[in-house]
């Protein structure tokens, strides 16, 4: 019997049932077109058991693919213009929310960033599997703090005291209890502030406006059996500067990690301040 292919490298996962594979397909920044969906259905009928399962990374998997059909199925994915999933010690597909394209809470165009991340990083070899998530606001629907690198949209609230009538609506609605009226003056505790934009939306007199807008970037998060929450290392980074920060993060990851070590382990071994300092050195070097 010959050596079996490295199925995982091509996005196929051996099932618990001997001789069968899961065919995994990844989305483009969380999106599939209607044409894509028709092609997925066709692949499921041709090679699987006509079932399709939605994965937690916004992709799809088709169960029941016979091992002897692997090469034909892999080529069929390419022929119809779909993308195989990424497995192993590589950057995995991006998880992204709709952002301000459709979500009433979205602060930022998440798809623009996710498209760049998808094009430049997905499939890149790294010391261990590495996951990115992009969220358009502090609601964090894509769980950026549970990823190796997370990007969370943020909008800094600024106060115009002359426009403020001290109605207290922003105080009541602030989810972080970061706003107060003290000595007849509206104040924001920026250490507590989530930069979620709620106060700006509810202010009836436009006394609150948006100042800096961008991404808060966190590192070292991890889900799974032994979960870990990431730590924010920089705030309000404009979209056009995000990739520069990410390159520095990945360079430090490559430098410090042993094979198979997630970024969370690197942070645990060296400490967040030491890792942050090395990232800054890369940025300023």
- In CATH terms, is domain 7-84 a member of 3.30.70.3340? yes
- Rounded Cα–Cα distance for residues 66 and 267 (Å): 41
Q: What is the pLDDT of residue 74?
A: 97
Domain assignments of the chain as residue spans, ordered by start:
7-84, 95-154+213-284
DSSP letters spanning 128-190: S-B-EEEESSTT-TT-GGGSSEEEEEEEEEEE-GGG-----HHHHH-TT--EEEETTEEEE-T
Nearest in space to 82 (alpha carbons), one of 103, 101, 60, 104 = 60
How does residue 160 score in pLDDT terms, banded at 50, 70 and 90? very high
Is it the case that residue 2 has pLDDT exceeding 70? Answer: no
Q: Per residue in 16-27, pLDDT tens?
A: 999 999 999 999
Contact 230, 146 (CB under 8 A): yes
Q: Per residue in 65-123, pLDDT tens?
A: 999 999 999 999 999 999 999 988 999 999 999 999 999 999 999 999 999 999 999 99
Is it the case that residue 1 has pLDDT exceeding 90? Answer: no
Contact 257, 269 (CB under 8 A): no
Whole-model pTM? 0.94
Q: Give me the chain's average pLDDT, please.
A: 96
Q: Per residue in 252-272, pLDDT tens?
A: 999 999 999 999 999 999 999
How does residue 3 score in pLDDT terms, banded at 50, 70 and 90? confident
Residues facing 150 on adjacent strands: 133, 218
Nearest in space to 9 (alpha carbons), one of 118, 95, 84 = 84
Q: Which CATH superfamily is domain 95-154+213-284 in?
A: Sulfite Reductase Hemoprotein, domain 1 (3.30.413.10)
- Rounded Cα–Cα distance for residues 162 and 249 (Å): 42
Q: What is the pLDDT of residue 230?
A: 97
- Rounded Cα–Cα distance for residues 80 and 263 (Å): 35
Output helix, strand, coil percentages for the chain, rounded to the nearest 5. Answer: 35, 25, 40
């Amino acid at each position: 019997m010959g050596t079996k292919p490295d199925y995982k490298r091509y996005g196929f996962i051996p099932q618990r049932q001997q001789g069968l594979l899961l065919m995994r397909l990844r989305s483009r920044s969380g999106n599939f077109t209607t044409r894509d969906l028709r092609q997925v259905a066709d692949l499921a009928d041709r090679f699987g058991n006509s079932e399709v399962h939605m994965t937690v990374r916004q992709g799809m998997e088709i169960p029941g693919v016979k091992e002897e059909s692997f090469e034909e199925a892999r080529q069929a994915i390419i022929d119809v213009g779909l993308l195989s999933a990424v497995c192993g010690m590589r950057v995995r597909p991006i998880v992204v929310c709709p952002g301000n394209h459709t979500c009433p809470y979205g602060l930022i165009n998440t798809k623009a960033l996710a498209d760049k991340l998808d094009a430049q990083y997905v499939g890149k070899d790294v010391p261990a599997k590495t996951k990115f998530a992009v969220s358009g606001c502090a609601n964090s629907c894509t769980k950026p703090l549970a990823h190796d690198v997370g990007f969370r949209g943020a909008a800094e609230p600024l106060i115009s005291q002359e426009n403020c009538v001290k109605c207290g609506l922003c105080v009541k609605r602030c989810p972080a209890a970061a706003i107060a009226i003290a000595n007849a003056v509206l104040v924001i505790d920026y250490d507590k502030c989530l930069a979620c934009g709620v106060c700006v939306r509810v202010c009836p007199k436009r006394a609150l406006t948006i100042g800096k807008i961008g991404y808060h970037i966190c590192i070292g998060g991890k889900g799974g059996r032994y979960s870990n929450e990431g730590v924010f290392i920089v705030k309000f980074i404009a979209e056009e500067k995000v990739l520069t920060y990410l390159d520095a993060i990945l360079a430090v990851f490559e430098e410090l990690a042993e094979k198979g070590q997630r970024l969370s382990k690197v942070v645990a071994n060296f400490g967040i301040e030491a890792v942050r300092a090395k990232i800054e050195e890369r940025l300023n070097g």
